[in-house]
């Protein structure tokens, strides 16, 4: 079975054709439980998310701040496994029909086996992977299997990336480019900053892939700001925080659906 990279491509193209940015939501698998995590994905899509990133919980998530680390810890203590991540992708995709990617560090894939991981992700209906710590020069094996199974390979670029490095990264990637808005870890911030706009401009000079901005976006006003210059707005910590702050799971699902609605309105304000 082939993965859903084409669904990802057409979804992002449709947002562009509608003269708006896409809303990309991140939620960890297994948080607050495996079933609860699947319901959370359904909730953000019902609220207006165009694409969802399902996080593969990791004990040392170097890109992630304390909010997502807390959620990962809850998921890991709950016994989440890669099989649960695949189940989350499958059930979320079947229920929503939107592109579902997995965001993961490289070590779990390396241990699981690249061929096995890509085959299972494609079979589950996944659209691809975001790989924040896989160096492009070491990615040939992954890309070979991802291409074979119809999966996108999304690399992360940062404000520190030099132009030549950007060109190398974007030439190897597919689906979209994840532009980290600032140097640092995930988390909500008062301002997304001018660094993001400059990075998007420099990245666009090297590729025709959509450039989507993450790290720091937490409300509709920030989403609208980023939507002025990015093809997609990626929001993670704000959704996870809404779940963490809720008194129970039902309230958490209502909160993330509501937040997705506000953010979806924000990305349409061009």
Residues in the chain: 270
Q: What are phi and psi of 207, to 5 degrees?
A: -155, 160
DSSP state of 103: E
Element (H, E) at 89: helix 82-96
DSSP 162-197: -HHHHHHHHHH--S-EEEESSSS-----S---HHHH
Catalytic residue numbers, as ranges: 53, 64
Residue 229 phi/psi, 5-degree rounding, is -130, -10
- What stretch of H or E contains 234? strand 232-235
- Region label for 22, one of left (φ > 0), alpha (ψ between -120 and 50) or beta (otherwise): beta
């Amino acid at each position: 079975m082939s993965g859903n990279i084409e669904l990802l491509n057409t979804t992002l193209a449709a947002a562009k054709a509608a003269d708006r940015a896409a809303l990309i939501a991140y939620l960890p698998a297994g948080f607050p439980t495996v079933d609860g995590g699947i319901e959370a994905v359904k909730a953000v899509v019902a609220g207006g998310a165009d694409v969802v990133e399902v996080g593969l919980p990791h004990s040392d998530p170097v890109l992630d701040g304390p909010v997502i680390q807390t959620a990962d810890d809850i998921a890991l203590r709950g016994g989440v496994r890669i099989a649960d991540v695949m189940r989350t992708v499958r059930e979320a995709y079947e229920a929503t029909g939107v592109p579902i990617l997995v965001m993961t560090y490289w070590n779990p894939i390396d241990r699981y086996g690249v061929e096995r991981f890509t085959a299972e992700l494609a079979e589950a209906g996944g659209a691809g992977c975001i790989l924040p710590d896989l160096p492009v020069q070491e990615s040939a094996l992954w890309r070979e299997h991802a291409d074979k199974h119809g999966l996108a390979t999304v690399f992360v670029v940062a404000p520190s990336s030099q132009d030549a490095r950007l060109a190398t990264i974007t030439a190897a990637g597919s689906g979209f480019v994840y532009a980290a808005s600032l140097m640092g870890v995930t988390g909500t911030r008062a301002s997304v900053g001018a660094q993001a706009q400059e990075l998007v401009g420099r990245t666009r000079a090297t590729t025709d892939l959509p450039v989507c901005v993450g790290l720091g976006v937490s409300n509709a006003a920030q989403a609208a700001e980023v939507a002025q210059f990015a093809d997609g707005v990626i929001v993670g910590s704000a959704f996870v925080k809404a779940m963490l702050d809720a008194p129970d799971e039902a309230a958490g699902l209502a909160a993330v659906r509501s937040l997705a609605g506000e953010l979806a309105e924000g990305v349409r304000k061009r």
